[in-house]
Amino acid sequence: MKKTGFLYDERFLLHRTGPEHPESPARLLAIYRGIEEAGLLPRLTLMKAERARQEWIEAVHSVKLITRFEEACRLGLDILDNPDNKISSESFETALLAAGGVIGAVERVMKGELDNAFCAVRPPGHHAEVNKAMGFCFFNNVAIAARYLQNKWGVKRIGIVDFDVHHGNGTQAIFDDDPSVFYYSIHEHPSFAYPGTGREFEKGSGPGLGSTLNSPVLPGQGDLEYKESFENGLLPAFETFKPEVILVSAGFDAHVDDDMSDIHLSTDCFSWMMKQLVGMADQYSNGRVISVLEGGYSINRLPELTKNHIEILLGGKT
């Protein structure tokens, strides 16, 4: 059995988005319940979040965005940059905790205290760009973790796998020209889904050309296409790239029962993907996987999906 960290902090519930918003605190409560009821908590190393230091946020985001976000919360505004991004007075602090919590998990994996970790954070991050909050995201947790790995731990090759049903435009843009970060994303085709990026021809730029791999999937498709893309796209790419650490943007909204997309992924396929990722981490990264929650809006499905996710990280479920 592996030593798996589980980041969960009640303060992640304090980012309030209003009654109609799909990115709700109820998502995290459902996830926690699923893991608790499956009896997994005693097998996990439970972690609380520490606020991220501003320098780690600034390694990715502009001071303008950070200040704008902080101000908006202080003034009691209810949106940032776009009506999608609902905020409450605690949202800025919550976002700092989310990013800081992920950094804490990465640190413990790098120190060898943990093999891997799942970070059940809110708000999510992968749409957030250098200077813009987007698609329910404010600070790009995974990008911040990757920069931290580069700057603090000198990691030369970071693999990011993003299986949220929406393309991680923010993460892609941040590492577009960076050959030391390989970004793979599988998502619903951008002509049918937010945010409208992540086409096959987006492959990175300059020295980073070739270190971005996008796999758009058409509405109505599912397991078959995901498995094909993993086997023929991601696996060979990582075989060449050999990431020292794998970061996962774990969105669960491609599930057939999630009404945020028209992708029909089964519960089993989520498990299959995670086993591939853990397998690759064992092969190339000394088992180091830090998985970070992005989307996933089906309150009914989140408990089982994240329970399976964690069981696979523990190495306990075949």
Partner 1 sequence: MFINKSMTRNVITIRGEAGLFEAKEKMELHNIRHLPVVTADHVLAGVITDRDIRSALPSAFTLHMHDPQEVEGIANLKVKDVMSKNPITISPMNTLGDALLLMNRARKGALPVVDKQGNLTGIISTSDVIRSFINVLGIEQPGTLLCILAEEKVGEMKKIVDAITEEGISFGSILVAKYGDEGKRAVYPYLLTNNVAGVKKKLESMGFTLLDPSEWSLDKFTER
Crossing angle of helices 141-153/91-110, nearest 10°? 40
Residue 246 token pair: 């794998």
Is 69 an interacting residue with respect to partner 1 (CB under 8 A)? no
Question: Closer CB to partner 1, residue 258 or residue 311?
Answer: 258
Closest CB 172 distance from partner 1, rounded Å: 12
Residue type, 97: L
Which one of residues 112, 207, 220, 316 is an interface residue with partner 1 (CB under 8 A)? 220
Is 127 a known active-site residue?
Answer: yes
From the candidates 61, 127, 189, 255, which is the catalytic residue?
127
Q: Residues binding partner 1: what is the number (CB under 8 A)?
A: 26
Is 303 an interacting residue with respect to partner 1 (CB under 8 A)? no
Task: Please state, in angstroms and rounded to a whole number, the distance separating the CA atoms of residues 14 and 87.
Answer: 10
Going through the chain in order, the beta strands assigned E by DSSP cover 4-7, 45-47, 79-80, 82-86, 116-119, 158-162, 181-188, 212-217, 245-250, 289-293
Span interacting with partner 1, options 101-109, 114-122, 173-181, 215-223, rule CB under 8 A: 215-223
Span interacting with partner 1, options 39-47, 192-200, 239-247, 301-309, rule CB under 8 A: 192-200
Which one of residues 15, 166, 301, 309 is an interface residue with partner 1 (CB under 8 A)? 166
DSSP bridge partners of 29: none
Alpha helices (H) in the chain, listed in sequence order: 25-37, 54-58, 63-74, 91-110, 141-153, 169-174, 223-229, 235-241, 267-284, 302-314
Is 27 an interacting residue with respect to partner 1 (CB under 8 A)? no
DSSP reduced 3-state for 156: coil
Which one of residues 11, 21, 51, 53 is an interface residue with partner 1 (CB under 8 A)? 21
Span interacting with partner 1, options 16-24, 95-103, 175-183, 230-238, rule CB under 8 A: 16-24
Go through the chain and tell me how many residues it has. 318
Residue type, 306: T
Residue 225 token pair: 């296409």
Binding site for partner 1 (CB under 8 A): 20-22, 82-84, 127, 134-136, 166, 169, 191-197, 218-220, 259-260, 262, 297
Active-site positions read 127
